[in-house]
Structure 1
Amino acid sequence: MDIVRVTDNKKLFLDLLLLADEQESMIDLYLERGEMFALYEEGVLIAECVVTDEGDGVYEIKNIAVYPQYQRQGCGKHLIDFLFEYYKTSCRIMFVGTGDSPLTIPFYTNCGFAYSHRIPDFYIKHYDHPIIEGGKQIVDMVYLKREF
C-alpha cells in the first residue's frame, strides 16, 4: 500500500469524501485548509483522509473513507497508523468527530482513540437532510481523541 499527500484537485476525490461526509457544503469547510492523504494499492485508489491543523499541536481528522469493497481489510487502520507516525513530532492531541454510531466508534477506539466529548444535535443543525447509519438517525457528533 502506498500513501501519498494530495495537494491539488482535492475535489477529484469527492465521491470518496462523500462516503464519510454526506454533504458537500460541509466538506468545503475543511477540504482546502486540510492536508489530504490518499491510500493506493497497485495504483488503485482505496481510501483517503483529510486532517486539519487546529493550532497548538491539536489536529483533527475531518474525513476518512474507504471504498466499500475494501472495508474491513485493515485499510482504514493503516491510514490512521500512518497519520500517527506522520504527525508524531507536531501533534499533542489528535481528534476525530463522528456520528454516534455503533459502526464507527468501535473502529476509532480500536485505533487508540478514547471518548472526549459530544456536541448535541450537530447533525440536525448542520446538515440539510437526515444522516442515517446502521438504520439509525445520527444526531450528535461524538469526539474522540488520542494524546501523544
Structure 2
Amino acid sequence: MRITSVDRDREQYRDLLLLADEQWDMVELYLHRGEMFAAYAEDEALTKAGSAPVPDRALGCMIVTDEGVDERGLRIAEVKSLAVDSAHQRSGIGRALLEFAVQHAAREYDILRVGTGDSPLTVPFYEVCGFTRSHVLPNFFIENYDHPIVEAGVQLKDMVIFKRRL
C-alpha cells in the first residue's frame, strides 16, 4: 500500500469522506484546513489528471489538522474523517493510515487526537491503535448535525476525543 499527500481536488474524495462524516457541510469545515492523505494499492492503475498521473481509486483517506497549543503548551494535531472504502474495511488500511498520521505528526506535534462517536465500532479501534480517552464533547452530534447519526444501531450523541502522545 502507498499513502500519498492530496494537494488539490479534494472534493473527488467526497464519497470516502462521507463514510466517516456523513454530513458534507461538516466535512467542508476542515476539508481545506489541514493536510489530506490517501491510501492506494501498490498496483493501482494510473490515469492522467492535468499533467501528472494519479491513481484511479483510493482505498482510504484522512485529513490531519493543526489544532494549536493546549493549556500545557503541547502542540495538537487531529485526524479528521479517517475513512476506508467499504470493500476494503477491516483489512488494515485504517490502521495504516492512522499510523502514518502518527509518524507524520510526530515531526511537529506532541499529541495526535481524534474525535469519534461513542460507538462499539470505532472506540475499540482507536484504543487498539494506542489512543486513550481524553474528554467528551456532550451532545456534539445532536447539536451539529441536521439528522440523527446512527452507527451499529446506536444513535450517536456525544463525541469522544481520544489522544495519543507522540
Q: TM-score, structure 2 length as denominator?
A: 0.87
Post-superposition offset of 1:22:
0.4
1:92 aligns with 2:110: yes
Amino acid of the structure 2 residue aligned with 1:19: L
Judge conservation of contact 2:36–2:64 (CA < 8 Å) in 1: yes
Q: Which runs of 5+ in 2 are unaligned?
A: 45-56, 70-74
Q: Which runs of 5+ in 1 are unaligned?
A: none
Post-superposition offset of 1:18:
0.2
Percent identity over paired residues: 49
Q: 1:126-137 counterparts in 2 under 5 A?
A: 126-137=144-155
Amino acid of the structure 1 residue aligned with 2:61: E
Post-superposition offset of 1:134:
0.3
Equivalent position of 2:48 in the other structure: none
Mapped partners of 2:98, 2:139: distance in 1: 27
Equivalent position of 1:4 in the other structure: 4
1:45 aligns with 2:63: no
Mapped partners of 2:154, 2:100: distance in 1: 31
Q: Map Cα deviations across residues 94-116 of structure 1 (whole Å, 9 max, x no partner).
A: 11000010100100011110000
Q: 1:1-148 counterparts in 2 under 5 A?
A: 1-41=1-41, 42-43=43-44, 44-56=57-69, 57-148=75-166
Q: Map Cα deviations across residues 83-104 of structure 1 (whole Å, 9 max, x no partner).
A: 1111212110111000010100
Q: Map Cα deviations across residues 1-45 of structure 1 (whole Å, 9 max, x no partner).
A: 010100101011000000000000000100101110000002241
Judge conservation of contact 2:79–2:101 (CA < 8 Å) in 1: no
Post-superposition offset of 1:62:
1.2
Q: Map Cα deviations across residues 28-78 of structure 1 (whole Å, 9 max, x no partner).
A: 100101110000002241000001011232101111000111111111111
Q: Point out the more displaced range, 134-143 or 83-92.
A: 83-92
Q: CA RMSD in A?
A: 0.8
Q: Which runs of 4+ in 1 moved over 3 A?
A: none
Aligned length: 148
Mapped partners of 2:133, 2:105: distance in 1: 20
